[in-house]
Chain A
Amino acid sequence: MESDREAALVLTPAPPSLPLDFPAGLRVLVVDDDPTCLKTIEKLLWRCQYNVTTCPRAETALSMLRERRGGFDLILSDVHMPDMDGFKLLELIGLEMDLPVIMISGDDGKDVVMKGVIHGAVDYILKPVRFEAVKIIWQHVVRKYQQNEKGLERVRCVEEKKLDEYGDNPSSENDEIWKNGKRRKDENDEVEEVDQQEDPSSQKKPRVVWSADLHQKFVSAVNELGVDKAVPKKILELMGVPDITRENVASHLQKYRMYLKRLSETEDQNTLGMQLSGATNSTYATISSVDRFCHRGLTVPRRHPLQNQMNLQAGVRQLAATGTGISLLDRINLFDSNAQISNASKFVPGQQLINNGQMNTFSRSSANMESRQSQQMLQTYSNIGLQARQGTSGFLNSFPVNTGSTFSLSTSSVYPRNSIIPMAQQGRRFDQFLQQNNLTAEMSTTGQIMNGVAGELDQNRLYSNIGQQILGNGAAIGNRGTSQPDTLLASSYGSTPQTLYPFVGTITPIHQPEILFLM
C-alpha cells in the first residue's frame, strides 16, 4: 500500500481525455493593441480551427477572463501594450486563472524574452506570427493540465499517507471548490470525473480558487505570522476559512514566496526610476479610466497640480525628493484603472520602490522629470491605484482601512515602453473634469494603505503590506491625513474581488516622506 502510494507520487498522470478532433475548438484569447497583428493572428488561429476571441486591450481581456471563468484554454498576449504591460497581464492571469499564456512580440531582445520566462509565460512567439508557430500551441494546454494533475496527485498521496498515519480524514476536501477551468465539457471528461468520485481514495482534490478576498485573508495571516515564519497550518488557522486544506495553503504559500523572491531579485537589478517624459498628445490616452472614476462620484483628493509633461513610465518607480505633485488623474493613469489596481499583481520586478537607499533616480534619464515630481508621482501612484479602481474594489473591500491588511496596487509593469503615455493625458482631462465638477482632488497618500503600519518594516513585511505605506508628501508615516481617503476607499469597494497578490509597498523612513510602492 505504502509503496503503491509512493509510486503514485512519481507516476505521470494520464493525459486528459481529449475530444477526437482536438485541438479543434481550443478556446484562445488573443490580446494585442495592434489591429493589424490582431487581425492576422486571429485569422491564423481560425485556420488552426481554434475558437478565437480577440481583444485589443488588456483590461478588457482580463474582465472577459474573469467573467467567463473556464471559458478559455489559452491566451496569446502582446508584450508592449499601452494600457497594461503584457507581463503584468501575464502575471495576473497566472494568479487568478492559472491559464497558459504565450507572449507575442516583434521584440526579440534577450531581456524581454527573459521577462517572459520569469513571469511565467509558457512560450514566446516572435512577430510576424507564422502558421507553424501557432499550429501546436495546444500542447501548452495539455501540459498545464498535466502539471495540475500531477500536483493534485501529489496532494492526494500525501493525504492518503496521512490517513494511514493518523487514521482520520485530514481535511474536508470534499467540499472544496472545484475549479475546472481547463476541463473540456464533453463526455469523456464527465465520465472521468464520475469515476473519480466513486472512488473516494482516489478522489481528486478540487482546486481552490484564490479570490481576492481569500488571498487577502491569506496575506493577512502570513503577515501576522511573519513571511519567513508562516507555516501553512497556522496560516490556515488564522484564515479561518472552511473548505480549504492545509495543502491548498501550502501550495499557495509556495507561489507567494516565489513571487516575493522575484520581486526582491528584480528590485536589486533594477535601476529604479520612473521615466518621465513629456507627453503632449498621446493617442493612447483614454478617457475611460477617468470616466469610470468619475462615475463613482468619488472625491479624489489631490494635493498637487499636475505637472505638465509628466509621463510616468509604468513600473519604474522612483523615489525622489518631494516635489510637485502629479495630478491625481495622472496617477490614476499610471494604473490602468481597471485591472491594475485591483489586481495586485505579482511583484513585477523593478517596480518596487524601496526606500532603503536603493532609490534611484530616473534611470536613463532622458526624463525631464525631476525627482520631486517623480516622488510625487509615486505617491500618487498608490493613491491612484486605490482610488481609481473601478474593479479593484474587491481588493480594497477585503481590506478595511487601518487593519493592517495588505493592499494591492498594480502598476503597469516594470518594463518601460508603452504604458504610461496615456497618463499625462488623462491627468489633464481629469483635471478638467475636476474643475468642471467642482471636485477637490488632493492627493491623499495615506488613505489607502494605511493600516497604521508605521515605521520600519522589515523587508518581508513590506512586501506584504503594500500600499500601506504610501505616504503623502511630507506626511509622517501612518499619518492619515484627511478622512477622505477612507471615503474613497469605502466607496470604491464593492465590486468583484479581483486582486490577488498584494502589491508591495514600503514605507519610507521619516525624512523621506514619499515612498511609493508600485507594483
Chain B
Amino acid sequence: MEYSNLKRQATSMKQNLFDQGYLDEQFYQLEELQDDVSPNFVEEVVSLFFKDSSRLMANIEQALENNPRDFNKLDSYMQQFKGSSSSIGASKLKSECIQFHEKCGEENIEGCTRSFQKVKREHGILKKKLEAYFQLMRQVGPGDRATCSSN
C-alpha cells in the first residue's frame, strides 16, 4: 500500500513536471534507455548534467564579468548548455538558453546578464524538482522504475 502510494506519487510528480513544461519528450527517451544494463541510467545522466552544468555556469558567470565581453565565447558556452539541457529533456532551461543565445547575438550585455539570471533560476528549480523525484523513485524501488515510466 505504502509502495503503491509512493509509486502513484512519483508518477504524478513526473506528470506535473511535464505538464508545467519543465520536461519534454526527451526525458521519455532517457527512460527508454534505462534497462538491466543501466538500471539507474536516468538518474545518472541527470546527475551528470547538473554537475557539468554547474561548471559551465561558473564559466559563463566569469565570462560575463570579463571586460570586454567575448560574446562568441559566451555564446559557445551557451550552445553547450543548450545541447546538454536538451539531452535530458530540460525544456524550460533550454528555452532560457535560446534567449541567452539571442542576447549574445545582439551583443547586449545587460540582456545577457538578465537572461543568464533566468537560466540560473530555472536550473536551480529543475534541480530541486528532479532531486525530489529521484528520491521518491529510489523509495519506490528498482523493479518499478520501468513501470513508472509513462507511455
- Interface, chain A (partner B; CB < 8 A): 33-37, 39-40, 43-44, 46-47, 78, 80, 105-107, 127-131, 275-283, 309, 311, 313, 364, 366-368, 416-418, 421
27 contacts between A and B (CB under 8 A): A35-B48, A36-B53, A36-B87, A39-B44, A39-B45, A39-B48, A80-B76, A80-B79, A80-B83, A106-B82, A128-B83, A128-B86, A128-B87, A130-B26, A276-B70, A277-B66, A277-B70, A277-B73, A279-B73, A280-B62, A283-B55, A283-B59, A309-B66, A366-B107, A367-B70, A417-B73, A418-B76
B118, CB-defined interface residue at 8 Å: no
Cα A277 to Cα B41 with chains together (Å) = 39
List residues of chain B with CB within 8 A of the CB of A364: 71-72, 107
A44-B33, A277-B70, A278-B66 known; A105 and B59 CB under 8 Å?
A: no
Q: Are B76 and A40 interface neighbours, CB within 8 A?
A: no
- Separation in Å of the B67 CB from the closest CB of chain A? 7
Q: Do residues B69 and A34 form an inter-chain contact, with CB atoms below 8 A?
A: no
Q: How far is the CA of A252 from the CA of B8 in the complex (A)?
A: 64
Q: Is the CB of A40 within 8 A of B30?
A: yes
Set of chain A residues within 8 Å of B80, measured between Cβ atoms: 33-34, 80, 106, 418
B70 touches A278 (CB 8 A): yes
Q: B45: which A residues are within 8 A, CB to CB?
A: 36, 39-40
Q: Are B72 and A282 in contact (CB under 8 A)?
A: no
Whether B107 and A131, one on each chain, are in contact in the complex, defined by CB atoms closer than 8 angstroms, is no
Question: Main SS of chain B's interface residues?
Answer: helix
Further 11 A-B residue pairs, CB within 8 A, beyond A36-B53, A309-B66, A313-B73: A36-B87, A39-B45, A39-B48, A40-B30, A40-B45, A78-B83, A127-B87, A131-B32, A277-B70, A278-B67, A417-B73
Query: Which residue of chain B lies nearest to A105 when distances are taken between CB atoms in the complex?
Result: B83
- Check B68–A131 contact: CB distance below 8 A: no
Q: B29 interface residue, CB < 8 Å from A? A: yes
A130 to B32, CA, bound (A): 11
B53 partner residues in chain A, CB cutoff 8 A: 36
- Which chain B residues lie closer than 8 Å to A128 at the CB level? 26, 29, 83, 86-89
Which residue from chain B places its CB closest to the CB of A132 in the assembled complex?
A: B29
Q: Which residues of B contact A106 (CB under 8 A)?
A: 79-80, 82-83, 86
Distance from A35 Cβ to chain B, minimum over Cβ atoms (Å): 5
B70 x A36 contact (CB < 8 A): no
Number of B residues with CB within 8 Å of any CB on chain A: 38
Tell me if B89 and A34 are in contact (CB < 8 A): no
Q: Is the CB of B71 within 8 A of A36?
A: no
Alpha-carbon distance between A127 and B97 when the two chains are bound, in angstroms: 14
CA distance in complex: A106, B76 (Å): 11
Output the least CB separation between B27 and chain A (Å): 10
Contact B79–A313 (Cβ < 8 Å): no
A36-B66 contact given A106-B86, A131-B29, A364-B71, CB 8 Å threshold:
no
Q: How far is the CA of A105 from the CA of B107 in the complex (A)?
A: 22
Q: Across the two chains, which residue of chain A brings its CB closest to B52?
A: A35
> Are B84 and A37 touching (Cβ within 8 A)?
yes
Of all chain A residues, the one with the shortest Cβ separation from B47 is A36
CA distance A409 to B79 in the complex (A): 27
Assuming the contacts A277-B73, A279-B70, A280-B62, asked whether A36 and B52 have C-beta atoms less than 8 A apart, the reply is yes
Q: CB within 8 A of B76: which of A46, A279, A283, A417? A: A417
* Bound-state Cα–Cα, A292 to B67, Å: 31
Contact A417 B79 (CB under 8 A): yes
User: Which residues in chain B, 18-47, are within 8 Å of chain A measured between CB atoms?
Assistant: 26, 29-30, 32-33, 37-38, 41, 44-45
Q: Measured between alpha carbons, how far is A416 from B55 in the docked complex, in Å?
A: 21
CA distance A227 to B81 in the complex (A): 44
- In the complex, how many angstroms separate the beta carbon of B135 from the nearest chain A beta carbon? 20
Contact with B38, one of A35, A43, A80 (Cβ below 8 angstroms) = A43
Cβ of B75 under 8 Å from chain A: yes
| Docked CA distance A178–B70 (Å) | 48
**Taking the complex as formed, is B134 at the interface, i.e. its CB lies under 8 A from any CB of chain A?**
no
Q: Could you tell me if B79 and A416 are in contact, using CB atoms closer than 8 angstroms?
A: no
